[in-house]
Structure 1
Amino acid sequence: MKLSVIILNYNVRYFLELCLKSVEAAMTTIDGEIIVIDNNSPDDSCAMVRQLFPNVTLIENKENSGFSKGNNKAVAEAKGEYLCILNPDTVVAEDTFKKLFQFTESKTNLGIVGCQLIDGKGNFLPESKRNVPTPKVALKKVLGNATDYYANQVQIENSAKVDILVGAFMWLKKEVYEAVGGFDEAYFMYGEDIDLSYKVIKAGYDNYYYGETSVIHFKGESTLKDAKYAKRFYGAMQIFYKKHFKQNLLFNTVVWLGIKMAYLMRKAPVDVALTSHKSYIYTKSIHKDLEEQLLKPLEIKEVIDDKIEDHSMLVYDFNELQATAIIQDMKVKSKQKNIKFRFLPKNSKFIIGSDSAVNRGEVLHF
């Protein structure tokens, strides 16, 4: 078997459905498997997977064991030569996996590969490619200067070696994952992708950013939105520094002060609601119940075009459109003012989208 796609889910049932449908569309010609491991979600994620995706391997944890333990458990069951560690709030293009095979099969010292991630507003996510967050780099970042944190030396559409990839999308051989011990289970959430990336390059492999395919990651990089988050995130960074960098009293004091300063100086997240004045839906046929709920005036378009107004909501119908075309259109229209993107999964009765890394997204049933 060539590929195992590993999706760790917690309480995002509707994003998971959209994600799984995109993954299935991307694996039609690939010898592979999809494994969903659920961390005891209180919603009906598991029931949905059993009902709609009977060919997906579902692992149901009885507790939320965190990102690292969950993924390690799923990888232990994986049969593929390659792994794709994937967040449930993502949409992959139909040719993403094929392109990655073409890119990676020629590499002789392959570590982890990441790709171009965009958020739910079509904007590039800079965490797609990062440098090693040395204490100096990380301290500058938490104080508001991220110049050295992100791998800005690599252009968004290009491909090149980088050090650190993001856990929302990681492509690597299973043998490499196992050689470095997988995700460190000392991390519950946050920091484990930095740690794995760093372990891989320290083991002598080459990590790559591949900018020739794009994947939607709705939530994007989180912010210091509350004390619990700050404690987990910077606790994870402390684990990373203690593990990989030499320790001394001055170092520990600087890291501790940096964490405290970052939390105290954090800005409250501003979740600006996007106000729409008009709706568009790219479809050949719209369900009457959905039509009734969408903001008026409503314009139905059978094909994607550039003729839309600012301050509009766009609904993409996956029954008619491919993810590849949708992602490309989002990147173009993200340059307009105040555009909301919503998605109608194939054979589903809801639309979904997210305009912020702070909230949990919006679902509209019809």
Structure 2
Amino acid sequence: MSSAVEVSVIIVNYKTCELLRNCLRSVFEQTKDISFEVIVSDNGSEDGSVEMVRNEFPQVVLVENKANLGFGAANNRGLNVAKGEFVFYLNSDTLLLNNAIKGFCDYWKGHESENLGALGCNLVDAEGTLTESHGVFPENGKLIKAMMHHLAAFAVKNAMKFLHMDISKLRPVPVYKKFVGDVDFVIGADLFVKKSELARFDENFFLYYEETDMQWRMAKIGLKRRLIDGPRVMHLVRGGRGKMDDVLRYGSFSIIQSEISKVRYTKKNLSKSVSFALKVMILLHWLSPYIFKNTRQYFGVMRSV
């Protein structure tokens, strides 16, 4: 086997020590017959993550960012030191269930003539059920329609919460089907790409939409994004209904960051007027008395997007 590194596995961590430990174990236990390195880019965790990596996985390249730079920026710090021909961006809340890294690498090398830009696989959740693995590029009309529907639904849920009515069953449970073939974009939980400038994220996206933006750039130059059969990866956190109140969850950090990134993505890649309309509608629902204590600190951020 060549001594050159074939794949650099880059894992961003922010206060997920136990998840990270299990993820790293799965990578080293499952990955065989391929030259690889693992890079953990830590965003200033204070939960013992850095010490755990140093003590239990001394072979891991540790990048200490000292602050929470966001998902894309932290991945870029890992990319800066990566030595592999390929890069596998992997969430800390994942587990490899087979020799997935070699599977991705072998597939790419066997399909070099097909203008590949990114690979992923059909993810499963902790129960082994298929979960979100890919997405469709946002479109202006669909974004506006979805946001108007959301505003109306959110107003109804606020009213029901005020009246102490049960709204727990109003949130639909998504059902995902297995898909193999070309997609608009592979989600960032397991994203296999060739190391190049195209593998770099736009750091203006703090959280969410960064992988969508990357693969939008790939699409514009004719590179394919594809889900393949073979690699098996479990994504533990994404896709769960969770126990948070269906109104209060819209004041959570992750939802707020997703909405900021949605506006940023729309302004950058689609339409400034549509991004402005989205911004206004999002700010309106941020005024909800139930989530305003969380959203108020982000009004200035949203206005500047």
TM range (shorter): 0.7 to 0.9
Residue of structure 2 in register with 1:124 after alignment: 130
Q: In the alignment, residue 29 of structure 2 is paired with which amino acid? A: A
Residue of structure 2 in register with 1:133 after alignment: 138
Residue of structure 2 in register with 1:174 after alignment: 195
Residue of structure 1 in register with 2:118 after alignment: 112
**1:10 pairs with 7, 11, 14, which one?**
14
Q: In the alignment, residue 251 of structure 2 is paired with which amino acid? A: D
- Measured in 2, the distance between the counterparts of 1:181 and 1:93 equals 25
Change in 2 beyond 3 A, CA 1:244/1:222: farther
TM-score by length of 2: 0.75
1:184 partner SS: coil
- Measured in 1, the distance between the counterparts of 2:109 and 2:30 equals 18
- Measured in 2, the distance between the counterparts of 1:194 and 1:262 equals 24
Residue of structure 2 in register with 1:218 after alignment: 236
Residue of structure 2 in register with 1:92 after alignment: 96
2:127 partner SS: coil
Report the alpha carbon displacement of residue 230 of structure 1 after superposing the two structures with TM. Answer: 3.5
**2:278 pairs with 255, 275, 284, which one?**
255
Q: Report percent identity of matched pairs.
A: 30
Unaligned runs of 5+ in 2: 154-173, 242-248, 292-305
| Superimposed CA distance per residue, residues 7-59 of structure 1 (whole angstroms, 9 cap, x where no aligned partner) | 01111111111100110123232111001111110111111111111111111
The answer (yes or no) to whether the contact 1:111–1:206 under 8 Å persists in 2 is yes
**1:42 pairs with 40, 46, 66, which one?**
46
The yes-or-no answer on 1:202 pairing with 2:227 is: no
Change in 2 beyond 3 A, CA 1:125/1:140: farther
Residue of structure 2 in register with 1:159 after alignment: 180
The answer (yes or no) to whether the contact 2:32–2:102 under 8 Å persists in 1 is no
2:135 partner SS: coil
Q: In the alignment, residue 97 of structure 1 is paired with which amino acid? A: I
Q: In the alignment, residue 213 of structure 1 is paired with which amino acid? A: P
The answer (yes or no) to whether the contact 1:230–1:263 under 8 Å persists in 2 is no
Change in 2 beyond 3 A, CA 1:3/1:138: same
TM-score by length of 1: 0.63
Larger strand share, 1 or 2: 1
- Measured in 2, the distance between the counterparts of 1:168 and 1:141 equals 24
Report the alpha carbon displacement of residue 102 of structure 1 after superposing the two structures with TM. Answer: 2.7
The answer (yes or no) to whether the contact 1:116–1:212 under 8 Å persists in 2 is no
Report the alpha carbon displacement of residue 66 of structure 1 after superposing the two structures with TM. Answer: 1.0
The yes-or-no answer on 1:60 pairing with 2:69 is: no
Residue of structure 1 in register with 2:263 after alignment: 238
Higher alpha-carbon deviation: 89-98 or 37-46? 89-98
Unaligned runs of 5+ in 1: 269-366
**2:208 pairs with 182, 190, 193, which one?**
190
Report the alpha carbon displacement of residue 252 of structure 1 after superposing the two structures with TM. Answer: 4.0
1:230 partner SS: helix
| Superimposed CA distance per residue, residues 82-139 of structure 1 (whole angstroms, 9 cap, x where no aligned partner) | 110001110012221222123221222110111111122322113x121111133334
Aligned counterparts, 1:275-294, within 5 A: none
| Superimposed CA distance per residue, residues 343-362 of structure 1 (whole angstroms, 9 cap, x where no aligned partner) | xxxxxxxxxxxxxxxxxxxx
- Measured in 1, the distance between the counterparts of 2:8 and 2:90 equals 10
Report the alpha carbon displacement of residue 159 of structure 1 after superposing the two structures with TM. Answer: 1.8
Larger helix share, 1 or 2: 2
Q: How many residues align?
A: 254
Aligned counterparts, 1:305-344, within 5 A: none
Change in 2 beyond 3 A, CA 1:181/1:56: closer
| Superimposed CA distance per residue, residues 146-190 of structure 1 (whole angstroms, 9 cap, x where no aligned partner) | xxxx9x8xx51x421111111111001002xx1x36100001111
